[in-house]
């Protein structure tokens, strides 16, 4: 037998692994991976290219929509500012008198606060009464008078008094001393409905374009109805500027798209009708650079080619490693580890080997067993902790409620003892003072100064007597005379007694009472006293009128009675003290601070509670919770 050369043996040794099972797995895997990588590079680069173009078009049209929405928001802001200025007290009358000074005093703060660049008041003769102009960078307002605005369509339409389909306000693009602007007009009417003049407000198109540019993230072009350039956020004029202007459409205004070459770069612009008051007033164009698309396509193609190449190499390497005999048991243990990590502890490797993988499988099974035991113990302890926490929270809440009630009861008891000791000694001297002052006021030929002093003394003594009487009533809180009755009847009676008060204060009363009777064991007179006090407080909190809602509902053995107003509300720092005796949020002389304390005591005697929720400027809600049935044994506690 001939001996083979050494080089032939080396080649066989190198390729021998590929001839076995490992080679049968690796070679097809490598070929398939390379084929899929080439197909993936082609498909992904084509998809990325089309996606970039589609995203650019979508971004362009989205920017156009945002720009159109910005015009609509500006139009609404103009209308809101017009309404605010037109209904400002004194503006129509000053316009009718031609009082420029008064108009400037009333409108200048509003113009500056709302950022209006132009505010003008036109008289009935079409001549300018006052114009305020805010120029960019200027500290104050420029004032002008006497101009002739009678030929301006906005003024003529408003003075004619004939509203269009949108109402009596008009808007248009007009040329001003500061350049083209969006002008909106509204009539000024006096209290009798007579037309007093025309109010104009305006914002320059340059300002509008710059503001909307920050919202749309694109440059803007504003054209007049003829397609001529009015304003733009683009840089200094370029050779391609002439292409920004478009020929007016013969038919209905439609969106138009075109390509531009500006500043040595490619741009794309989309024109949409400039809609003002639901009428086309020109063209609104959104401009975005499109030159980056080609660059992005090339960059994306190279990037994805590199990523697929690296990914293919990595996949081949990983496939080779996993094809070895160690891959299968390791993958099995990995899947078991994921199951254990997700919470399934009833896992077993099932591997019985004498090598390191067998030791790893045995350690895994021991670990899983210990985890099962400790997890079960932790679950038991956790359940016990939750139960203890719930019990402690319930006890803590009851303790807080009891503590608050005891504190309030101690306050009421202290005030009652103090009042019982001094009220009679105070009322008698007050009665003497009132009697003597009334007697002296009946004398003739009294000095006016003396008469005034006696009246002040009499009024002060009367007020002090009223406070002492309230204190006496507060100190003599009687035990309730409990009886079972329909709580709705007590509510209706309380509202009837307060009917004159609510009508006089222009307060609308809204009742929300259930159709069926709400039977409660209570003292009707004492609960009626509480309701009248709450209704009086609510009416006093609504000096300019408002809405008083009275709601009654029964749920889980308790009746919930809510008295809600739309008044001035109570500050958060006062909510914890409103049930304290002598504490009041009313102006001096309008309350003694005993009404809510007395009400709290009555509700406490009924074994109920009274809660309050309030927000400044929004109103206050007092909620009374009364048990449907009182305990049969023992007296009610305060």
The full DSSP string for 578-629 is TTSTT---SPTTS--S-HHHHHHHHHHHTT-EEEEEEETTTEEEEEEEEESS
Alpha helices in 498-615 (DSSP H): 499-504, 524-540, 595-605
Asked if 68 contacts 275 with a C-beta cutoff of 8 angstroms, the reply is: yes
Return the pLDDT at 19: 46
Residue intervals of the chain classified under CATH 3.30.450.20 are 87-208
Q: Do 600 and 577 meet the contact criterion of CB atoms below 8 Å apart?
A: no
- Tokens, residue 246: 């478009």
State the Cα–Cα distance between residues 325 and 266, nearest whole angstrom.
59
CATH architecture of the domain formed by 482-638: 2-Layer Sandwich (3.30)
With helix as H, strand as E and coil as C, how does 103-134 read? Answer: HHHHHHHHHHHCCCCEEEEECCCCEEEEEEEC
Is the CATH number 3.30.450 carried by domain 218-290?
A: yes
What is the pTM (predicted TM-score) of this model?
0.42
DSSP 234: S
For residues 472 and 418, the answer to whether their CB atoms sit within 8 Å is: no
Quote the pLDDT of residue 563.
94
- CATH fold, domain 87-208, is Beta-Lactamase (3.30.450)
Token look-up 């009275």 returns 550
String of DSSP letters for 62-97: HHHHHHHHHHHHHHHHHHHHHHHHHTSTTHHHHHHH
What residue spans in the chain does CATH classification 3.30.565.10 cover?
482-638
pLDDT at 591: 59
As a residue count, the chain comes to 638
| Low-confidence residues of the chain: pLDDT under 70 | 1-27, 29, 41, 43-50, 136-139, 248-254, 292-302, 304, 316, 318-334, 343-345, 347, 349-351, 353, 355, 357, 401-425, 427-428, 466-479, 582-583, 585-593, 632-638
Sign of the CA dihedral with 251 first, then 256, 261, and 262 last:
positive
Q: The tokens 């506690």 sit on which residue?
A: 637
Q: In 3-state terms, what secondary structure has residue 625?
A: strand
The secondary structure of 396-437 as a DSSP string is HHHHHHHHHHHHHHHHHHHHHHHHHHHHHHHHHHHHHHHHHH
pLDDT at residue 24, rounded to an integer: 57
Q: What is the pLDDT of residue 369?
A: 77
């Amino acid at each position: 037998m001939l001996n083979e050369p050494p080089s032939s043996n080396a080649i066989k040794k190198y390729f021998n692994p590929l001839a076995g099972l490992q080679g049968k797995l690796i070679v097809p895997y490598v070929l398939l991976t390379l084929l899929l990588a080439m197909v993936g590079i082609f498909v992904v680069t084509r998809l990325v290219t089309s996606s970039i173009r589609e995203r650019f078009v979508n971004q362009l049209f989205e920017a156009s929509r945002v720009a159109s929405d910005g015009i609509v928001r500006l139009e609404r802001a103009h209308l809101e500012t017009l309404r605010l200025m037109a209904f400002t007290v004194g503006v129509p009358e000053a316009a009718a008198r031609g009082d420029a000074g008064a108009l400037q005093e009333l409108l200048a703060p509003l113009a500056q606060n709302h950022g209006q660049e132009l505010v003008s008041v036109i008289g009935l003769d079409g001549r300018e009464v006052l114009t305020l102009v805010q120029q960019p960078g200027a500290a104050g307002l420029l004032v002008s008078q006497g101009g002739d605005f009678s030929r301006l369509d906005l003024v003529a339409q408003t003075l004619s008094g004939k509203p269009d389909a949108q109402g009596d306000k008009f808007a248009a693009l007009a040329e001003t001393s500061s350049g083209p602007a969006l002008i909106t007009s509204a009539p000024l009417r006096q209290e009798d409905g007579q037309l007093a003049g025309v109010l104009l407000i305006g914002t320059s198109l340059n300002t509008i374009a710059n503001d909307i540019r920050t919202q749309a993230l694109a440059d803007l072009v504003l054209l007049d109805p003829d397609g001529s350039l009015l304003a733009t956020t683009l840089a200094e004029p370029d050779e391609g500027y002439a292409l920004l202007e478009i020929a007016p459409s013969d038919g209905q205004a439609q969106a138009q798209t075109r390509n531009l070459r500006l500043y040595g770069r490619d741009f794309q612009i989309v024109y949409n009708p400039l809609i003002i008051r639901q009428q086309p007033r020109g063209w609104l164009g959104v401009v975005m650079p499109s030159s980056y698309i080609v660059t992005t396509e090339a960059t994306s193609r190279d990037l994805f080619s590199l990523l697929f190449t690296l990914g293919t190499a990595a996949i081949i390497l990983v496939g080779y490693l996993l094809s070895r005999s160690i891959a299968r048991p390791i993958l099995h243990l990995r899947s078991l580890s994921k199951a254990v990590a997700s919470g399934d502890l009833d896992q077993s490797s099932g591997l019985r080997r004498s090598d390191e993988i067998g030791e790893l499988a045995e350690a895994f099974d021991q670990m899983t067993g210990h985890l099962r035991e400790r997890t079960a113990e932790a679950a038991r302890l956790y359940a016990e902790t939750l139960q203890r926490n719930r019990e402690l929270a319930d006890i803590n809440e009851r303790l807080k409620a009891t503590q608050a009630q005891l504190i309030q009861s101690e306050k009421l008891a202290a005030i009652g003892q103090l009042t019982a000791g001094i009220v009679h000694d105070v009322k008698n001297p007050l009665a003497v003072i009132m009697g003597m002052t009334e007697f002296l006021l009946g004398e003739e030929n009294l000095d006016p100064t003396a008469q005034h002093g006696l009246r002040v003394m009499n009024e002060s003594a009367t007020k002090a007597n009223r406070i002492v009487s309230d204190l006496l009533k507060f100190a003599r809180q009687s035990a309730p005379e409990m009886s079972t009755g329909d709580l709705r009847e007590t509510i209706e009676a309380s509202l009837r007694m307060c009917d004159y008060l609510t009508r006089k204060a222009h307060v609308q009363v809204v009742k929300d009472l259930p159709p069926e009777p709400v039977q409660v064991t209570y003292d009707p007179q004492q609960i009626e006293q509480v309701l009248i006090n709450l209704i009086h407080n609510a009416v006093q909190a609504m000096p300019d009128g408002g809405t008083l809602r009275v709601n009654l509902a029964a749920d889980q053995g308790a009746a919930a009675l809510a008295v809600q107003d739309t008044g001035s509300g109570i500050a958060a720092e006062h909510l914890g003290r409103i049930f304290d005796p002598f504490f009041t949020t009313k102006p001096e002389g309008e309350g003694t601070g005993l009404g809510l304390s007395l009400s709290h005591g009555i509700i406490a005697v009924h074994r109920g509670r009274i809660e309050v929720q309030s927000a400044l400027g929004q109103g206050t809600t007092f909620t009374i919770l009364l048990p449907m049935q009182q305990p049969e044994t023992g007296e009610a506690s305060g």
